[in-house]
Amino acid sequence: MPRSRRLGANAEDRAAAFLQNSGYTIVTRNYVAPGFSEIDIVAMTADDVLVFVEVKERRHGGMVGPEESISAAKRKRLWLAANHYLGEVVGKEMTVRFDVIAFDGLEIRHHVDAFRP
């Protein structure tokens, strides 16, 4: 596995553990919607909100923070992937939101309802 993929997988592991410790249930990880994008983590809140989570990690002190690296085009691809997931896996309407978990050096930031389609 390439180093960058290992680092990404490690960040996703830490994000999943953070979510579980915060009361979320991990539904799936690394969901790939053909032709759209990969969703890092799909989780469920205690009050039945389906959460699509984008995990970003940057070295502390970088030029751009992890949150700022999520472009409008990436958000659109995530929205399309989430729509695919809802249609192909869930099969019903649900309350959903998009969160971002950002690792900046040793700091973790969880942005709830970080963006809308």
pLDDT at 87: 92
Instruction: Provide DSSP, 14-76.
Output: HHHHHHHHTT-EEEEEEEE-TTS-EEEEEEE-TT--EEEEEEEEE-TT-SS-TGGG--HHHHH
pLDDT at 76: 93
pLDDT at 4: 46
Q: Is residue 114 classed as helix, strand or coil in its secondary structure?
A: strand
pLDDT at 39: 96
Residues of the chain with pLDDT under 70: 1-8, 59-64
Domain boundaries, the chain: 3-115
pLDDT at 6: 44
CB 78 within 8 A of CB 39: yes
Which tens digits make up the pLDDT trace of 32-41?
998 878 999 9
Note the CATH number of domain 3-115: 3.40.1350.10
pLDDT at 2: 52
pLDDT at 61: 63
